[in-house]
Amino acid sequence: MAYSDKVIDHYTNPRNVGTLDKSKNNVGTGLVGAPECGDVMRLQIEVDSNNVITDAKFKTFGCGSAIASSSLATEWLKGKSIDDAITIDNMDIVEELALPPVKIHCSVLAEDAIKAAINDYRVKNGLAPIESEKSHH
C-alpha cells in the first residue's frame, strides 16, 4: 500500500514529539487505543488562561498513518482555543493526509485522543467532560 506524501512527511519528520508534565493543572492528557490493537496514542495539550492551546505533544505506537494523524493533530491544536479544538473531526484528518479507507481508524483514534486530552484538562479544572455526540465504536 502506498502512503501519501503527507503521511510520509509526518512519519519521517514527526512534529511535536514529546511529553508534557501531566501533573500540571493546565496540561490535559489523552491516552487512547490499546497495545493489542496495534495502536496507542498519547496526546497532550497545555492551555493558557484564555483557554488557548499554547503547546501540544504526542507519542504514538502504531503504523505510519497513526503516527502521521497524531503529528498532524498536534500541529492543528497549537494556537487553537479549546472550543475550536473540540470541533476537529476525524474526516478533516482523513482528507488532509489522504488516508485510504483501511486507515480511517487512525484518524478516529486521533480525534478520540484530542477529545480525551481536552476532557482531562476540563475535569482537572472543575468542568464537566464534553460527551461526544457521535460514537465510532
Partner 1 sequence: MKIPVYLDNNATTPMDPRVLEAMLPYFTEKFGNAASRNHAFGWAAEEGVDYAREQVAQLIGANEKEIIFTSGATEGDNLGIKGVFEMYQDKGNHIITCTTEHKAVLDTCKHLEKQGARVTYLDVKSDGLIDLKELEAAMTPQTILVCIMYGNNEIGVIQPVKEIAAIAHKHGALFMTDGTQAVGKIPVNVDTDGIDLMAFTGHKMYGPKGVGALYVRRKNPRVKVTAQMDGGGHERGMRSGTLNVAGIVGFGKAAEICRLEMDSEAKRLSALRNKLQSSLLELEESYVNGNVENRLPHVANISFKYVEGEGLMMAMKDLAVSSGSACTSASLEPSYVLKSLGLSDDLAHSSIRFGLGRFTTEEEVDYAIEVTKKAVNHLRDLSPLWEMFKEGIDLDKVEWVEH
Q: Which residues are known to be catalytic?
A: 37, 106
- How large is the greatest C-alpha to C-alpha distance in the chain, in angstroms? 45
Nearer to partner 1, 66 or 73 (CB): 66
Nearer to partner 1, 27 or 63 (CB): 63
Nearer to partner 1, 1 or 128 (CB): 1
Residues that bind partner 1 (CB under 8 A): 1, 3, 11, 14, 17, 19, 31-42, 59-64, 66-67, 102, 105, 108-109, 112, 116, 136-137
Q: Shortest approach of partner 1 to residue 128 CB, angstroms?
A: 19
Q: Shortest approach of partner 1 to residue 36 CB, angstroms?
A: 3
Q: Shortest approach of partner 1 to residue 49 CB, angstroms?
A: 28
Spatial separation of the C-alpha atoms in residues 105 and 48, rounded to whole Å: 31
Contact 58, 110 (CB under 8 A): no
Nearer to partner 1, 48 or 123 (CB): 123
Of residues 107, 87, 88, the one with CA closest to residue 97: 107
Q: Shortest approach of partner 1 to residue 81 CB, angstroms?
A: 25
Spatial separation of the C-alpha atoms in residues 31 and 17, rounded to whole Å: 14
Contact 45, 77 (CB under 8 A): yes
Spatial separation of the C-alpha atoms in residues 61 and 66, rounded to whole Å: 8
